[in-house]
Copies of this chain bind each other. A is one copy, B any other.
Amino acid sequence: MSDSPPGVADLLGVLAYAELTAFLRLAEDATRHAPSLTDRAALGGLAAAEYAHFELLRDRLASLGVDPEEAMAPFVGPLDAWHAQTAPGDWLEALVKAYVGTGIALDFYREAATHVDDETRELVEEVLADEGRSQFAVDRVSVALRQDPRQSGRLALWARRLVGEALSQGQHVAAARPELAALLVEASGEEITRMFARLTEAHGRRVAALGLTPGP
Contacts and interface: CB of A to CB of B under 8 A. Distances in A.
Interface stretch (A20-28, A92-100, A105-113, A200-208): A20-28
A52 B69 CA distance: 25
A36 B36 CA distance: 33
Contacts of A27: 23-24, 27-28, 47
A211 interface: no
A73 interface: yes
Contacts of A48: 23, 48, 51-52
Interface in A31-45: 31, 36-38, 40-41, 44-45
Contact of A28 (B28, B36, B68): B28
Nearest to A39: B69
A73 B20 CA distance: 30
A150 to B, nearest CB: 28
A24 B31 contact: yes
A82 interface: no
Contact of A54 (B17, B41, B51, B58): B41
A37 B31 CA distance: 22
B44 A23 contact: yes
11 contacts: A20-B44, A23-B27, A23-B44, A24-B27, A24-B30, A24-B31, A25-B31, A28-B28, A36-B69, A45-B51, A47-B51
Question: Which 7 A-B residue pairings sit nearest by Cβ, starting from the closest?
Answer: A27-B27, A48-B51, A24-B31, A37-B69, A48-B48, A24-B27, A38-B69
